Amino acid sequence: MGFVGNTFAIVKKDLLLELRAKEAISIMVFLSLLLLVVFNLSVEIDTENVSRLAPGILWVVFAFSGILGMGRTSLSERDDEAYLNIYFSSVNMESFYLAKVISNLLFLLLMEMFTIVSFVILFDYERLIFALAPLSLPLLLGSFGFSVVGTLFSFLSTGSRFGEIILPFLFLPVVVPILLGGVSSTDIILNGSGGDSPAKWLKILLVFDLLYFCISLILFRYIIEE
């Protein structure tokens, strides 16, 4: 099998595993639901301010639920040192990393869809559903960035003594540009703030994604090399 074949074989394995065990996705989905409830209890959200608060709440939920879920998927590779089987097989580490990024991206997108639907129901904010088409681009770019950094860092953290505890400390400061880009473009799309176009924020997301994807692809092999 070539690079693409290997990559998709691993993605398929991850999806199959997730379909049976439902570990990462259940962590993400329930945490995002819980966070929405906590937000509602701690911040008074009503029909007046919901559209102003929605971008921030959504992206904080995406980041936190996402990072915990991604920690879980790399932990399942660390269990019984399963990833070493891949390391010693003919699969190169770049295709392993790419596969992990793709499967994490899929889990993230699934969680985000679930969060958005829950948000609409819990906060009675139907506008979000109708804005889904223009929102898809920032969601896709933001999630890809989350996945690129999260996949790499979750492998770092699960190899350390502190485990997943350390993951938010590494992940959140680095993804600040994604949070800013995601929140701002979502805000522009939902509220049309100042007649701005979300294009420049999408550019930031794109630059971040490309930069971190290329560098992480090179760096990933140094984590596995035991």
Residues that bind another protein (CB under 8 A): 149, 152, 156-157, 159-162, 166, 169-170, 172-174, 176-177, 180-181, 184, 200-201, 204, 207-208, 211-212, 215-216, 219, 222-223, 225-226
For another protein, the closer CB: 173 or 195: 173
- Separation between Cα atoms, residue 11 and residue 17, nearest integer Å: 10
In whole angstroms, how far apart are CA 30 and each of 39, 90, 98, 191, 214? 14, 37, 26, 28, 32
Which token pair is 143? 């999630």
For another protein, the closer CB: 111 or 167: 167
- Separation between Cα atoms, residue 128 and residue 111, nearest integer Å: 16
Q: Shortest Cβ distance from residue 32 to another protein (Å)? A: 24
Q: Shortest Cβ distance from residue 216 to another protein (Å)? A: 7
Q: Shortest Cβ distance from residue 88 to another protein (Å)? A: 18
Which token pair is 179? 């949070």
For another protein, the closer CB: 102 or 149: 149
Q: Shortest Cβ distance from residue 75 to another protein (Å)? A: 15
Alpha helices in 124-198 (DSSP H): 127-130, 132-158, 167-174, 176-191
Q: Match 């993605």 to its residue by tokens.
A: 11
For another protein, the closer CB: 11 or 152: 152
